[in-house]
Chain A
Amino acid sequence: MSKKAIITLVAVAATITLALEPGETELEHNGWFRYTNSATDWQITKPAVSRFTLERGYLRFSHQWAPIFFTKMTVDIFSSDKYPEGATIRLKEAYADLGLPFIKEFNLTAGLQKHYFGLIYSWDYTHPDKSLADDQGVCASADYGLTVNGFLPAGLGELQLGIYNGEGYKYAGKYLNTSPEFLANLRLTPLAGLMVGASVFTNARDQAHYKNDRKGRDNTNTYFLNADTTNINRLAFAPMAKLSFGPVSILGEYIGYNYIRSYTYYQLNRDSANNIVDSTLVEKNKKYQFSGLDLLPVITLPGRKVEIYGRFSLWNRSEQSGDTMAFNKDKSFVRYGAGFNYHFIRREKGKPGLEFQFAWLRTQTKNEETKPADIFMAQIRFEWNSVIKKPEL
């Protein structure tokens, strides 16, 4: 590191240290109480799923230490039957954010934070379901990392550059490897009503150990001994656009994603009496390719109480089979639907909000022999916050 960089870092650290004083603390809760009905081909009286849940229960704590420095932590407490308590808690954000003194409207953010990739980053849940890339696990919505993020001069747009663990916010400790993910995201707003941009990330190796680990005997002659199943050479690209004209907007992105699944296993060798005599370590690679399209048209009615929206998504998955890439029609699909939101109280920064959301989505896999699946979501989404004033010293 150069002398100049060290001096700059020390100066910034000293400035922050001198400026640090207790500031305002903000407590916020954002809950989604949802009813879900999932059925095959309109058979909603014979649903596969019919349940009420607290889908999300974000509790956010943030503290403004100085105008250019704040820290934030978000936990999600939501319904889950993984534990006898009927709920679980998940750490979703935990970061420190520093306004860069020499670049206006740019911040340095360190810790568990937003993953600035495509619509995953800017998805504000106008539609209650996830964005397509989030739903299909292209990457997690949050991850541990270090980012520089901010807004370009004259309202031209925004830029984020980041380095992340790459495994996503659900993974920590032994499931992480030493290979970081690199990300860039650019959004341009050259004209009123037009936003265009693109995100790209690359990760040489995603351990994904927890997700892919296979242990034990798969068949009589294969033994997965703590199989090192990792995704290597991950690369995702997502150009996006948003068009807005008065009360009508359409948000969309194309997603291109591929990686190689690398795994090893022991091939068990047997003698004529079927006794295991030795084993051979086998290393295999398999390519995966994905492409998708996600569109969300929204009409906001006068008064901004009601939003009506549609949804159209396409997802294609191909997997290596020998020397060719075979289209997996069971895991490729077309999804479409519609819904509406009614805002009892419109959410606004620093103020409570309450809305009712209803959405229907139909998913038809590319395997025409399977019937389409319908999902209905009805949810109350509520949000409140409280600012605790700084103590007078």
Chain B
Amino acid sequence: MKKLLITLTVLATLLFGVEIMVKGSDTMLNLTQRLAESFSAVQPDVTVSVTGGGSGVGINALINQEVPLANASRAIKSKEISQARANGVNPVEIVIALDGLSVIVNGKNPVNQLTVEQIGAIYRGEITNWNQVGGPNKKIVLYGRQPNSGTFVFFREEVVKGEYSANMRQMNGNAQIVEGVKADEGGIGYVGLGYIKHIEGIKPLAVARKPQEKFISPADEAAVKSGAYPLTRPLYQYTNGKPKGAVREFILFELSEKGQEIIAQEGFVPVTQNYIERNNQILQ
């Protein structure tokens, strides 16, 4: 059945148009799928197939020339650039959106804000009860991602600043973290902005870099845009060389007014002027 479907897809693509394969970040999965659907509506001869697996998996697929476009919620590593070049692949970086990585807790948890240092201590396993950070006497249950996830790497480098506690439950994707925290009054997790919108039973925490600084919610778009929100990060796409043909058209659509509108609708933040200029230089 699967073979038949693949054969039919290949035949359909051969007969009717072009297919673009996109692979990588789970944080960007729903967002890119939505962008792909809207793009296909304006470019019906182009099919965009989007799969997840994690940023590392997407970049690896680009290195092996399996996909023309990789989604990543972290920047490509030196090792990956070197491996790509050795394989004849020249990774080119585009920033399509900004994300305010959101730290979420169960909706019944009275804790509303934490500092980056407190969140780090929680994920290192040094703070284990909510009463140590002004909450109820309840054991903290950690939800996080797997090592192939760009979000796992970003959060480790920017917040944990050490090793994750062995007690952290490693979930397959953002949606699983949301479900876990929703069902667990002691739970804490981290997900992309797009995964907290319109979901009841969880709440994002306001975060401050230091105790004396202002606590900012990831829902504050202006703060994410300006970088005032401590866990702001760019969301990347990588191509082999300067984007061409249908891939370029798709990226141009993502960066267009319509595309950026979809990005905002999906809960993420449109790119800022400095990224627009950087993207334009690549896409010219």
Question: Which residues from chain A sit less than 8 Å from chain B, CB to CB?
Answer: 19, 21-23, 66-68, 104-105, 151-158, 187, 189-195, 242, 244-247, 249, 304, 348-350, 389-393
With a cutoff of 8 Å between Cβ atoms, the chain B residues found around residue A195 in the complex are 85-86
With a cutoff of 8 Å between Cβ atoms, the chain A residues found around residue B86 in the complex are 187, 189, 195, 242, 244
A327 to B84, CA, bound (A): 42
A142 to B169, CA, bound (A): 36
Q: Are A105 and B77 in contact (CB under 8 A)?
A: yes
Given contacts A67-B147, A245-B88, whether A158 and B82 have CB atoms under 8 Å apart is yes
A118 to B87, CA, bound (A): 17
With a cutoff of 8 Å between Cβ atoms, the chain B residues found around residue A190 in the complex are 85
- CB-contact partner of A105 in B79, B125, B167, under 8 A: B79
Q: Which of B67-97 touch A at CB < 8 Å?
A: 76-82, 84-91
Q: Are B167 and A392 in contact (CB under 8 A)?
A: yes
With a cutoff of 8 Å between Cβ atoms, the chain A residues found around residue B64 in the complex are 304, 348
With a cutoff of 8 Å between Cβ atoms, the chain B residues found around residue A23 in the complex are 166
Q: Are B88 and A393 in contact (CB under 8 A)?
A: no
Q: Are B80 and A21 in contact (CB under 8 A)?
A: no
Given contacts A67-B147, A392-B169, whether A157 and B87 have CB atoms under 8 Å apart is no
A217 to B250, CA, bound (A): 79
For residue B65, CB closer than 8 A to chain A, the reply is yes
Given contacts A19-B162, A192-B88, A246-B88, whether A348 and B60 have CB atoms under 8 Å apart is yes
Grouping DSSP codes into helix (H, G, I), strand (E, B) and loop, the B interface class, with mixed when no group exceeds half, is loop
Q: How far is the CB of B24 from chain A (nearest CB, A)?
A: 14
Q: How far is the CB of A247 from chain B (nearest CB, A)?
A: 8
Chain B minimum-CB-distance residue to A194 = B85
Chain B minimum-CB-distance residue to A22 = B166
With a cutoff of 8 Å between Cβ atoms, the chain B residues found around residue A187 in the complex are 82, 86
- CB-contact partner of B78 in A155, A191, A242, A390, under 8 A: A155
Q: Are B66 and A151 in contact (CB under 8 A)?
A: no
Given contacts A21-B166, A393-B166, A393-B167, whether A193 and B78 have CB atoms under 8 Å apart is no
A46 to B108, CA, bound (A): 80
Chain B minimum-CB-distance residue to A251 = B86
Chain A minimum-CB-distance residue to B89 = A192
A-B contacts, 19 of them at CB < 8 A, read A19-B162, A21-B165, A151-B79, A154-B78, A155-B80, A155-B84, A155-B85, A157-B82, A192-B84, A192-B88, A242-B86, A244-B87, A244-B88, A246-B88, A249-B87, A304-B64, A348-B64, A392-B167, A392-B169
Q: Are A151 and B163 in contact (CB under 8 A)?
A: no
Q: How far is the CB of A208 from chain B (nearest CB, A)?
A: 34
Q: List the 7 closest pairs (A to B, CB-CB), nearest first.
A: A155-B81, A244-B88, A192-B90, A21-B166, A189-B85, A193-B88, A19-B163
For residue B241, CB closer than 8 A to chain A, the reply is yes
Chain A minimum-CB-distance residue to B153 = A67
For residue B156, CB closer than 8 A to chain A, the reply is yes
A190 to B84, CA, bound (A): 11
For residue B253, CB closer than 8 A to chain A, the reply is no
With a cutoff of 8 Å between Cβ atoms, the chain B residues found around residue A389 in the complex are 170
* Per-residue A-contact encoding for B137-161, CB less than 8 Å = 1, 0 else: 0000000000110000000100000
A156 to B147, CA, bound (A): 24
Interface centre among B82, B91, B148 (most CB of A within 10 A): B82
A350 to B61, CA, bound (A): 13
A187 to B81, CA, bound (A): 13
Q: How far is the CB of A287 from chain B (nearest CB, A)?
A: 36
Q: How far is the CB of A114 from chain B (nearest CB, A)?
A: 15
For residue B275, CB closer than 8 A to chain A, the reply is no
A151 to B156, CA, bound (A): 20
Q: Which of B156-194 touch A at CB < 8 Å?
A: 156, 162-167, 169-170
With a cutoff of 8 Å between Cβ atoms, the chain B residues found around residue A390 in the complex are 166
With a cutoff of 8 Å between Cβ atoms, the chain A residues found around residue B78 in the complex are 104-105, 151-156
Q: How far is the CB of A201 from chain B (nearest CB, A)?
A: 22
A5 to B237, CA, bound (A): 41
Known contacts A67-B147, A195-B85, A390-B166; 16 additional CB pairs below 8 A are: A21-B166, A67-B156, A67-B164, A105-B77, A105-B79, A152-B78, A154-B78, A156-B82, A187-B82, A189-B81, A189-B85, A192-B240, A193-B85, A242-B86, A246-B88, A349-B60
Q: How far is the CB of A347 from chain B (nearest CB, A)?
A: 10
With a cutoff of 8 Å between Cβ atoms, the chain B residues found around residue A245 in the complex are 88
Q: Which of B218-245 touch A at CB < 8 Å?
A: 240-241
With a cutoff of 8 Å between Cβ atoms, the chain A residues found around residue B165 in the complex are 21
Chain B minimum-CB-distance residue to A302 = B65
Interface centre among A67, A157, A187 (most CB of B within 10 A): A67
